[in-house]
Amino acid sequence: MSETAGLDAFDVGPSGLWSELLNSLPKRIMRSTRLRQILEKWPRHLFVDQSNDALMRLAAGMDSPLSIGHGQTISQPQLVVRMTRLLRPKQGERVLDIGLGSGWQAAILQERVGVRGKVVAIERIAALLHATKKRFEELGLHNIELILGDATNIAHWPEGQFHVITCAAGCDREPDFWRERLAEGGRMVVPRKAGDVKDETYYQSDGVAFPAEGWEDGPMHQLVRTIRFADGYREEEHDYCGFVPLVSGAIQKE
Active site residues: 75
Give helix then strand counts, H and E, for the chain. 7, 11
Number of residues that bind ligand SAH (CB under 6 A): 24
Residue 125 binds ligand SAH, judged by CB under 6 A: yes
Select from 86, 168, 224, 227 the one that contacts ligand SAH (CB under 6 A). 168
Residue placing its CB nearer to ligand SAH in the complex, 119 or 182: 119
Query: Per-residue DSSP letters for 75-119?
Result: PPHHHHHHHHHHH---TT-EEEEE--TTSHHHHHHHHHHTTTSEE
Residue 72 binds ligand SAH, judged by CB under 6 A: yes
Only segment of 22-30, 101-109, 112-120, 212-220 that touches ligand SAH (CB under 6 A):
101-109
Residue 101 binds ligand SAH, judged by CB under 6 A: yes
Q: Please, what is the minimum distance in Å from the beta carbon of residue 39 to ligand SAH?
A: 13
Residue 169 binds ligand SAH, judged by CB under 6 A: yes
Q: How many Å separate Cα 110 from the centre of its chain?
A: 12
DSSP state of 176: H
CA nearest to 252, candidates 103, 128, 67, 120: 128
CA nearest to 152, candidates 182, 109, 122: 122
Integer Cα distance of 164 and 254 in angstroms:
30
Count CB neighbours of 183 within 10 A: 15
Q: 52 and 3 in contact (C-beta within 8 Å)?
A: no
Element (H, E) at 194: none
- Interface positions, 2-41, toward ligand SAH (CB under 6 A): none
Residue placing its CB nearer to ligand SAH in the complex, 39 or 125: 125
Q: Please, what is the minimum distance in Å from the beta carbon of residue 204 to ligand SAH?
A: 24
Residue 46 binds ligand SAH, judged by CB under 6 A: no
Query: Per-residue DSSP letters for 7-40?
Result: GGGG---HHHHHHHHHHHS-GGGS--HHHHHHHH
Residue 123 binds ligand SAH, judged by CB under 6 A: yes
Only segment of 2-10, 30-38, 147-155, 199-207 that touches ligand SAH (CB under 6 A):
147-155
Select from 42, 104, 162, 210 the one that contacts ligand SAH (CB under 6 A). 104
Residue 240 binds ligand SAH, judged by CB under 6 A: no
Q: Please, what is the minimum distance in Å from the beta carbon of residue 46 to ligand SAH?
A: 11
Q: 177 and 205 in contact (C-beta within 8 Å)?
A: no
Residue 102 binds ligand SAH, judged by CB under 6 A: yes
Applying CB under 6 A, which residues contact ligand SAH?
72-75, 98-99, 101-102, 104-105, 122-125, 128, 150-152, 168-169, 244, 246-248
